[in-house]
Chain A
Amino acid sequence: MPAFKAPAPGFSVRFSPFHEQRLLVAASQHFGLVGNGHLLVLDLSAAAAGGLGAAPAPAPLFAFPTSDALFDCAWSESHESLCAAASGDGSVRLFDVALPPAQNPVRLLREHAREVHGIDWNPVRRDAFLSASWDDTLKLWSPDRPASVRTFRGHDYCVYAAAWSARHPDVFASASGDRTARVWDVREPAPTLVIPAHDHEVLSLDWDKYDPSILATGSVDKSIRVWDVRSPRAPLTQLAGHGYAVKRVRFSPHRQGMIMSCSYDMTVCMWDYRKEDALLASTGWDEMIYVWPFGSDPRAM
């Protein structure tokens, strides 16, 4: 498997919606506590062409250093070389990877008062994206506008992540340290739904790409919960197995019900939330991959 060692601890990885071999990576020094950030574009095709035996590293096509940590990044859904990064200094930065570093970022959007921790580009309405910040707000942006289109207030603590619905152009959800996940409609002034999702901070969430009412949340309480927003009183299911806070959770774009998650326990887990024994496989820092047959996951105890 090709491996690439980032210049600093990685915080986010995104596939390009235009080039399937292209990855966007956000990395930050010192675990993002202080120091510089790096936005990198990797090309996997160079790795694939490397030949037999040794798996060559993906080639970094572009590298943009930034003066503060980057916590998240997202490709534009409307332009193949445009991407956005969430910076620790409270700015949202737009990069055109076709331009040299000296001309980047092409846009520096300074509105958030605190660290911007999450960013998500609208896959349906392709000219809009969201930023989620530790200043407890989310902001809606268009790359064509110099200022934010809207600010969403309501969370009582850091907002860590935002995720657009894969189906509805105006609907998104947000995950916050106030232990709630909220569902918003950009046409409405207030959240349309507040889910007290976990007993601890909610760090990440994502929508099912096949069922627009299904939402998964990952929390510091080590669990992932899957929700049906039509009946949000109780989760559809809870996925236990991570040993530390769940840092990020994502639905597969290819198979319904499939969830990947990564955690501070240094593992990545693959789940099918619709199955009774949901954990399918896991991998850790040692590059060993474990496929867990039914009922055998020792960590689920």
Chain B
Amino acid sequence: MAMRHLITGQGNCAPDGASSSNPFGNLANAILGQSSKAQSIKELPGSAVNVPTTSELGTAVPLSTIPGSENEFKQDQLPHAWGADFIRGSPHDWVESFRPPGLPEFAGPDAQFKEFEQIFNNTGPTFGPPVLDGPPQRVLSGVLHSFLASGRAGVPFQPVPVPALGLSESDKQCIRDRSCIMARHILADQPEEYIQAQVNTLLHSLDIDSNYRMKGPMHGPYPEMEEYWNQSQSTMRSAPMHNAADKWITEFGKQNNNPEDWAHSFEQQYGPNGWASEFEQHQSQMAMTGGVNMANLAAMEQSRMLAQTLASNNDPKFQNSKFFQFVSKMSRGELIIEDNQVKQGSASQSSGWADEFQTQYNANANSWADQFVHEEMSQGADKWASEFSSEYNQSGLKENWIDEFSKLHVDDEWAEEFSGGAFGESSADPWVDEFQNQLSSSKQNSGASRGVYVFSDMNPYVGHPNPMQEGQELFRKGLLSEAVLALEAEVLKNPDNVEGWRLLGITHAENDDDQQAIAAMMRAQEADPTNLEVLLALGVSHTNELEQGEALRYLHRWLQNHPKYGGIAPPQPTDSPYGPDVIRLFNEAAQMSPEDADVHIVLGVLYNLSREYDKAIASFKTALQLKPQDYSLWNKLGATQANSIQSADAILAYQQALDLKPNYVRAWANMGISYANQGLYEDSIRYYVRAVSMNPKADNAWQYLRISLSNASRADMIAACDSRNLDVLQKEFPL
């Protein structure tokens, strides 16, 4: 392509066809000299600078009628002539006008062009599609989110352990530098040491070396304060400050040996004595910290209690309570991004492996209900979330908001892809919007981020005499999408039908729709808090979402409520069971009855949580010897193998699952992921296409498909993927 075409874009840059409206074209014309000067002059000034005409603004009021513009803007329109001068081919003068007195002249136009060409050619090849290699999405979002949330709530940041994220060095540096600078904006009320401690905790949790020199803040540059902070923190409230001061001075002295020292620049700025006064200021701030934190903690506790009554309180003043807004908003993960089309990370690869644990469990466990209810009450946030969602669901049902919702569905595929689900983008009701935020945001530790269940808008099974039986039948046949409709009709009819909700959740999980699966399971748990199958399903779902604490709690409860193993587990409710303890309890259970496949399955899940994949694989294999026909168990084995980088073995396991249950959408999708992990993108595409043609609502699979298409250099099919054109895709990628 000729240089000129590259620059002018052959009119592409100028939709109105006037290539001269393109500044690059103008530059090319001016510099390449291929359009005569007379021509350029003739075109000017009207087209050289693309001033909007009235017609371009449509019915809009022309700019000149902006109030005050008669006085303010008229004379400013003159620079058109200035622009014209420039385009006529004398950038030299224009550039000169910027030259501050005393600086050397800029090179002339010829030199400029050479320079331009050189740079253009150099950077040209890098103009291709940007490298989308974002770090693993969900895990990182969760950690960063809780970091910011803790910052605003004024509580010390306590990260959950995260798996190795494979962050690149540059990623790490980005997080290090930016979190440091941005944390200071949010945590302005806190002393610098506190900010440093918060940031360092974040960096440690992400396995980032925090000793790297960070850019210090202007209002208190103490990049080396971490150690000091950690030591002084414990003594801060009682011990006299001079100890801490000595420590600081020592630090300071050490730092002075550093040639490119921060202290030096600090002195420059504040004068030799600046640091002393600055330090005094910090002392007084620090003395206050303890109290402030306590106050914030108390306030948060309070707002949590307030939150419980939120559903019945529509008082705008209450809703405007700012602190409450913060806490509730942040706890709902409102600021978290959802997975988008960016390359999947280890988190999303693992999402498939365990969701459908539930099917094997047939035990009933009503007798532990009392204890459980008691336990449930102690979990304010969860309780509130379910209250909130159920209230909304119920009142909504009365008002037919579901219908309204369906009207709001996004027409635009693009937007839908980003919205992370079947939710509309806007609504008249702020509460509905909150729910959208809640749902589309990435999964958080708090149960509050689980959403309401979204019903299909057109359901032929509403009015069916026995939708439950129909749903079970359809599920057995593997007609999952149909089964969903029938089961939805059932739970609309009988909202307390635990089995209906449970089967609905399983169906969604097998159909690779996690959000709906979780929403349904939460309704099931609400109806029967001690149902073993439901507890296990929730434990597994949270494991999939890498939410260790929640997962452990549900699995622990499963053991407590089990008629056979209830004796092993201490009966008192535990809010945060310790992982190794739970594993130990389940190992005891496995010794008690080694023939119980369920226990081995839970052990497999637990070992996945602790990322001991070899043990997890062994547990699942033991369970499979007892239950060789359990397709979901094969899927779990496959997903675990995939997680421990044995993608080839994983494919064999998935194949077993599909032989047993050919309509198992999740296994098809997982198969695709395994091929993609081995770099076999063409193969992965075929499996993804199969998965999405069986369940066109499987958003994750659509996203994986898009990634594989671009990795396989099949950009030609991305449009078909974006428009979800199954016909084209199936024809192009038969399995």
* A76 vs B428: C-alpha distance when bound (angstroms): 34
Work out how many contacts link A and B, with CB atoms closer than 8 A: 295
Q: Which residues of A contact B116 (CB under 8 A)?
A: 145-146
A244 to B342, CA, bound (A): 32
Tell me the minimal C-beta distance from B275 to chain A in angstroms: 15
B-side contacts of A267, CB under 8 Å: 322
Q: With A57-B415, A79-B23, A146-B116 as given contacts, are A264 and B426 in contact (CB-CB < 8 Å)?
A: no
Interface size on B, residues (CB 8 A): 112
Least CB distance, A156 to chain B, in whole angstroms? 6
Cβ proximity bits A198-225 to B, threshold 8 Å, 1 near / 0 not = 0111010000011000000000111000
Cβ-defined contact, B102 with A189, below 8 A? yes
The answer to whether B412 touches A59 (Cβ under 8 A) is yes
Asked if B185 contacts A203 (CB within 8 A), the reply is yes
| Residue ID in chain B nearest A265 by CB atoms | B322
Q: B325: which A residues are within 8 A, CB to CB?
A: 266, 284-286
Which residue from chain A places its CB closest to the CB of B11 in the assembled complex?
A98
Chain B 311-323 interface mask (CB, 8 Å, partner A; 1/0): 0000010011010
- Point out the residue from A82, A127, A188 that lies within 8 Å of B86, measured CB to CB: A127
Q: Is B394 interfacial (CB 8 A cutoff)?
A: no
Partner of B174, one of A34, A125, A178: A34
Could you tell me if A36 and B134 are in contact, using CB atoms closer than 8 angstroms?
yes
A154 interfacial by beta-carbon distance below 8 Å: no
* Alpha-carbon separation in the docked complex, A189 to B100 (Å): 5
Is A106 at the interface (CB under 8 A from chain B)? yes
Q: Which residues, 60 to 116 on A, are CB-close (under 8 Å) to B?
A: 60, 63, 65-69, 76, 78-82, 88, 96, 98-99, 101-106, 108, 110, 114-115
CA–CA, A200 and B116, complex, Å: 41
Q: Is A179 an interface residue (CB 8 A)?
A: yes
Task: Collect the chain A residues with CB atoms within 8 Å of residue B22's CB.
Answer: 79
Is A300 close to B, CB under 8 A?
no
**Per-residue contact bits, chain B 678-718, to A (CB 8 Å; 1 contact, 0 not):** 00000000000000000000000000000000000000000
Q: Report yes or no: A288 in contact with B412, Cβ–Cβ below 8 A.
A: no
Q: Are A63 and B414 in contact (CB under 8 A)?
A: yes
Assess the B132–A36 pair: CB atoms within 8 A. yes
B171 close to A (CB within 8 Å)? yes
For chain B, residues 224 to 248, give those with C-beta under 8 angstroms from any C-beta of chain A. Answer: none
Residues 129-154 (chain B) with a chain A CB within 8 angstroms: 129-135, 137, 140-141, 144, 148, 152
1/0 contact string of B49-85 vs chain A (CB within 8 Å): 1101000111010000011100010001001001100
Return chain B residues, CB-CB under 8 Å to A126. 49, 79, 83
Asked if B503 CB lies within 8 Å of chain A CBs, one says no
Separation of A75 and B311 alpha carbons in the complex (Å): 43
Q: Is the CB of A3 within 8 A of B66?
A: no
**List of B residues within 8 angstroms of A99 by Cβ:** 9, 12-13
Is B131's CB under 8 angstroms from A201's CB?
A: no
Among B24, B319, B338, which residue has its beta carbon within 8 angstroms of that of A106?
A: B24
Chain A residues near B82: list those with CB within 8 A.
125, 169
Closest 7 CB pairs of A and B: A57-B425, A3-B426, A189-B100, A146-B119, A7-B418, A67-B130, A35-B134
**What are 28 A-B residue pairs whose CB atoms fall within 8 Å in the complex?**
A7-B338, A19-B57, A29-B337, A34-B167, A34-B175, A34-B178, A45-B58, A55-B428, A67-B131, A67-B132, A78-B49, A82-B13, A98-B14, A106-B9, A126-B83, A127-B23, A144-B91, A149-B95, A149-B98, A150-B99, A158-B215, A187-B97, A200-B188, A201-B218, A221-B188, A264-B152, A288-B319, A290-B316
A residues sitting closer than 8 Å to B (CB atoms) are 1-9, 17-21, 29-36, 45, 53-57, 59-60, 63, 65-69, 76, 78-82, 88, 96, 98-99, 101-106, 108, 110, 114-115, 123-127, 134, 140, 142-147, 149-150, 156-158, 166-167, 169, 177-179, 186-189, 199-201, 203, 209-210, 220-222, 243-245, 247, 253-256, 264-267, 284-288, 290, 299
Q: A149-B98, A244-B152 are in contact. List 13 more A-B contacts (CB 8 A).
A: A4-B426, A18-B56, A18-B57, A31-B335, A33-B182, A34-B135, A35-B135, A76-B23, A96-B12, A127-B94, A134-B215, A179-B218, A209-B72
